[in-house]
Amino acid sequence: MQDIGESVRRQLAGDEYAPKIFRVDSAHGVGKTYIAAGLVNWFFDVFTPGITITTAPTKDQVELLLWKDIKSQRKGRGLPGRVLPETPRMVKAENHWAIGRTTSDAGGQGTARAQGQHAKYMFFVVDEAEGVPAYQFEAINAMMTGGVVMIWLLIANPQTRTSAFHKLGKQPGVQNYLFSLLDFPNVVEGVDVVPGGTSRAWLNGMIFKHCDVVSEHDPDRLTFEVEWEVFADGEEISYPAGTIFAPSADFQFRALGVPPATNAGDALISTARFEAAAQRPIPAVRDMTVAQIGVDCARFGPDAGNVWLNQGQVLTREAELRQADDFQYAHQMKLAALKAIRAGAQRVSFRVDGTGGYGSGKIDITKADAELMEAAQVAGCVLVFHEVQFNHTPHDPERYYDRATELYGTTNDQLLILSVPNPPEHLQADLTERRARFVAKNAGAARRIVRKLEGKDEFKSRIKPARSPDDGDGAALAAAPEEIFRPPADTQSTVTGQDVVNVQSAFMNRLKQRR
């Protein structure tokens, strides 16, 4: 509430960079809807002429939750405006009102139906935002223009990491808040500080029912501990303060206010680990001497290729390419390498997706680039090229079925230290929702149970709308450790002077054919 007030003050002073979107992940029973009702009443009473629009997934959620509290807070207080008793609406004037509503997306016209309002002061509240579809968010965003004060508040008990509500939290400028029962006054103090709020006894019961005791903390499992003895009615045992608990999915969203990482059992990369990397600050001191460039090559019309750079423990997408030829890929590979060399790279490792024979041309053209070769020579930088076949034998056949599985498995380890600032929209799903299963495979003289990553076609069949995990493949190529790409010493692909002469000759012949 203080942050919203500060944003209003900044907007009134003409600060165009004041935050306008406030997003709350919340546990059950912390009074989030009651607080939102108070903010609606405050905005309605203070800002004239103004429009307040609230929404929720269903009519009952609009009328029986938020608007019940709005009306009860105003009752008998002599506040200005007329509250319509049978509807979620209150009015001061034709250009000053508040309304609660849901919107249908019939005919794909939901955005058009929801938008269209503009005023000097506007306040949007999305209650139970987890279940509100993306078109509602698009409509509100379209109305967040032209006014003096614009505030958008979203509150939800988060149950998934794929909703429009969850994805909004990753956008620049959005202020994110977490209301966890572990911080709620009734739970912390053990008495009813907030009347009607969740009690410590209720949380203790949830711990017994939905948490496992573990020996050490694991960020992938969202482990936690509390400062009091945990006991519950009907239970013969208790747990001392400081016991470490691993919560179930139910406990995560009901008590901690975080969407459950439901992929932990069938994905190689954990959601919690990826999100920690996405939030990790860029290190103040970085070793820039080694750079790794991953290149995923698009094969079909709607698929996108990409170029990723991993340097100094920071992983970034440098380019996205659609329907591009080898020369365009090579140009973007060169730009990424020059950026790395200027930053201090003494070794640049290119990992190019070669499945189906799509990688060799890009590598040959890059090797023949005189500007890149000169820059590397001047800087004393070694360039190494790997054409990576996703379906080939992995470096560690006792753990992984093929090279693609190994890429994702080792990337999960690298995400413990990497920072992934401002990841592209689909990267999280590409990495954390791509499933793997255990299969039997011969590894040398022994038969092993290893992990096998699902193929691109399997991934496409589950994801709606269907798409290829292009960003995931490119990011994994850049993130994976160098040792999994190293062939025997006598066959390692490094660039010699004769290589440059040979490839430049081939390049010129190819260029003539292209003309």
pLDDT of 221: 85
The winner for highest mean pLDDT among 35-44, 144-153, 226-235 is 35-44
Burial of 299 (0-12, 13-18, 19+ CB in 10 A): middle
pLDDT at residue 299 greater than cutoff 80: no
Q: For the segment 434-446, what is each residue's pLDDT rounded down to a tens digit? A: 999 888 887 666 7
| Amino acid type, 288 | M
DSSP 95-164: TEEEEEE----GGG-HHHHH-----SEEEEEETTGGGS-HHHHHHHHHHSSS-SEEEEEEEE----SSSH
Bridge partners (DSSP) of residue 222 are: none
Q: C-alpha 304: how far from its chain's center? A: 19
419: confidence class by pLDDT, cuts 50, 70, 90 = very high
Measured from the Cβ of residue 28, the count of other Cβ atoms closer than 10 Å reads 15
Q: How far apart are CA 502 and CA 368, in angstroms?
A: 9
Measured from the Cβ of residue 134, the count of other Cβ atoms closer than 10 Å reads 15
Average pLDDT over residues 102-113: 48
Bridge partners (DSSP) of residue 156 are: 25
Write out the H or E segment, with its range, that includes residue 508: helix 497-514
Q: How far apart are CA 24 and CA 283, in angstroms?
A: 28
494: confidence class by pLDDT, cuts 50, 70, 90 = low
Average pLDDT over residues 16-31: 94
Helix locations, 257-402, DSSP H: 271-279, 326-342, 360-367, 370-379
Residue 106 sits at φ, ψ, to 5 deg, of -55, 135
pLDDT of 358: 81
Is 96:124 a contact under the CB 8 Å cutoff?
no
SS3 category, 389:
coil
Q: How far apart are CA 392 and CA 356, in angstroms?
A: 12
Return the C-alpha torsion angle 428, 434, 438, 443, nearest 10: -90
The proportion of the chain whose per-residue pLDDT surpasses 90, expressed as a percent, equals 64
Residues found in the chain: 515
The CA-CA-CA angle for residues 294, 297, 302, to 5°, reads 130
Bridge partners (DSSP) of residue 399 are: none
CATH class as words, domain 2-179: alpha beta
Give residues with Cβ within 8 angstroms of 384, minimum separation 6: 347, 348, 349, 350, 492, 493, 494, 495
Q: Give the range among 326-330, 362-366, 484-488 with minimum mean pLDDT.
A: 484-488
Q: For the segment 318-356, what is each residue's pLDDT rounded down to a tens digit? A: 999 988 999 999 999 999 999 999 999 999 999 999 987
| Amino acid type, 171 | Q
Give residues with Cβ within 8 angstroms of 80, minimum separation 6: 45, 92
DSSP 41-68: HHHHHHSSSEEEEEE-SSHHHIIIIIHH
Q: How far apart are CA 365 and CA 61, in angstroms?
A: 60
8: confidence class by pLDDT, cuts 50, 70, 90 = very high
pLDDT at residue 451 greater than cutoff 50: yes
pLDDT at residue 300 greater than cutoff 80: no
pLDDT at residue 28 greater than cutoff 60: yes
SS3 category, 388:
strand
Q: Domain locations in the chain? A: 2-179, 183-261, 275-508
Which has more pLDDT, 498 or 490?
498
The CA-CA-CA angle for residues 281, 286, 288, to 5°, reads 130
pLDDT of 153: 97
pLDDT at residue 132 greater than cutoff 80: yes
Q: Tokens 């020996």, residue?
A: 215
Average pLDDT over residues 419-439: 91
- The alpha carbons of the chain give a radius of gyration, in whole angstroms, of 28
Helix locations, 263-359, DSSP H: 271-279, 326-342
281: confidence class by pLDDT, cuts 50, 70, 90 = very high
**Which of 163, 123, 392, 432 lies closest to 271 in space, CA to CA?**
432
Q: Which two tokens stand for residue 54?
A: 């609230």
Q: How far apart are CA 218 and CA 227, in angstroms?
A: 18
Q: Tokens 């005919």, residue?
A: 107
37: confidence class by pLDDT, cuts 50, 70, 90 = very high
Q: How far apart are CA 24 and CA 180, in angstroms?
A: 10
Domain 275-508 falls in which CATH fold? Nucleotidyltransferase; domain 5 (3.30.420)
Q: For the segment 379-391, what is each residue's pLDDT rounded down to a tens digit? A: 999 999 999 999 9
Give residues with Cβ within 8 angstroms of 461, minimum separation 6: none
CA distances from 269 to 256, 329, 406, 503 (A): 22, 27, 11, 38
The CA-CA-CA angle for residues 452, 454, 455, to 5°, reads 120
SS3 category, 451:
strand
pTM score, whole prediction: 0.65
pLDDT at residue 463 greater than cutoff 60: yes
- Tell me the average pLDDT of the chain: 88
**Which of 35, 111, 20, 42 lies closest to 66 in space, CA to CA?**
35
